[in-house]
Amino acid sequence: MKKILLIGTVLGGLLLVLSGCIFDKAEGLIVYGSQDQVTNAIASNKENVKSSTIYEGKQDGEGDNLTVFLKESDAKKMQKQQAFTKVVDSDKTEELKELPATNGKLLLLAKGDATKISVGDKEQPVTYGGNITLGDARTYAKKNRDCS
């Protein structure tokens, strides 16, 4: 019985030691909302946040149909901060090396391909940039982590 307890304790200790490779630790916080909502979220997490950057954006739709619009210059800054990830497979992502070319159109980063989107009552032509997420936002995709 003591051997089983000792083996269980050792395995539990190993799990805790290796948890950095098993459980992802967030390196950033992405918050959408009004200026007040974003400011309050940053303030309530201030002990865990070393620095923060606020980018203005516009939203259209809600829930699964939410579209977030960013300025191209802000998107490029966010890309340099490694805010975007590319979904490689249904359960793996990788760092996005550079934003896709826009060809003068809006850039759509989404799970599904499209050539145009509806914004309010108008349709806008878009360049589909691929299955790219802001952070590790999609629950079906996990960041590819090498623990060797």
Average pLDDT per block of 10 residues along the chain, 148 residues long? 55 51 60 82 83 83 78 87 84 85 85 85 88 68 43
Q: Convert the pLDDT of each residue in 83-126 to its tens digit.
A: 888 888 877 888 888 888 887 888 888 888 888 888 888 898 98
Going from the N-terminus, what domains does the chain have, and what CATH number goes with each?
Answer: 63-134 (2.40.40)
What is the CA angle 18-24-26, rounded to 5?
A: 135
List the structure tokens of 71.
Answer: 């300025």
What pTM was estimated for this model as a whole?
0.65
Nearest to 70 by CA among 58, 52, 60: 58
